[in-house]
């Protein structure tokens, strides 16, 4: 099992930036697909960025503003967010799925096995 702890959320003005971190601990010997999801007020949880050792993906709705990266030595996943708007207000979650479980939909909440507790981002 792996434990995920997000940090870096906060309140920013429109046009501002934030950098979120997701620290992974526990079974870090297993390799994982990882992703950032968000859930805004009254909305479904949606994927915004996904990462593996072979690729990284950003959904079209935030492409050009958000970036995803990983510090493999320290097992930390990052989400860089720029030009934030009130529509980006949400709780942001880190998720992980062990590699080797077969095909999956990187944007599906059902295809990730481990989740962090979330970090709140508020843009006004």
Per residue in 94-108, pLDDT (tens digit) is 999 999 899 999 999
Which residues lie across from 76 on neighbouring strands?
Answer: 23, 71
Evaluate whether 19 touches 80 at the Cβ level (below 8 Å). yes
CA-based max dimension of the chain:
41
Taking only the tens place, the pLDDT of each residue in 40-89 is 999 999 999 999 989 999 999 999 999 999 998 899 999 999 999 999 99
Asked whether the predicted pLDDT for residue 8 surpasses 90, the reply is yes
pLDDT value of residue 11: 98
pLDDT value of residue 30: 81
């Amino acid at each position: 099992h792996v434990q995920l702890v997000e940090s870096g959320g906060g309140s920013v003005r429109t046009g501002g930036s934030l950098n979120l971190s997701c620290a992974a601990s526990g079974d870090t010997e297993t390799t994982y697909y990882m992703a950032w999801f968000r859930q805004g007020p009254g909305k479904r949880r949606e994927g915004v960025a996904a990462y593996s050792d072979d690729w990284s993906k950003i959904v079209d709705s935030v492409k050009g503003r958000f970036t995803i990266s990983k510090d493999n030595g320290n097992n930390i996943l990052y989400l860089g967010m720029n030009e934030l708007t009130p529509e980006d207000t949400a709780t942001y979650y880190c998720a992980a799925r062990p590699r080797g479980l077969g095909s999956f939909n990187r944007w599906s909440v059902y295809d990730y096995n481990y989740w962090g507790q979330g970090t709140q981002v508020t843009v006004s």
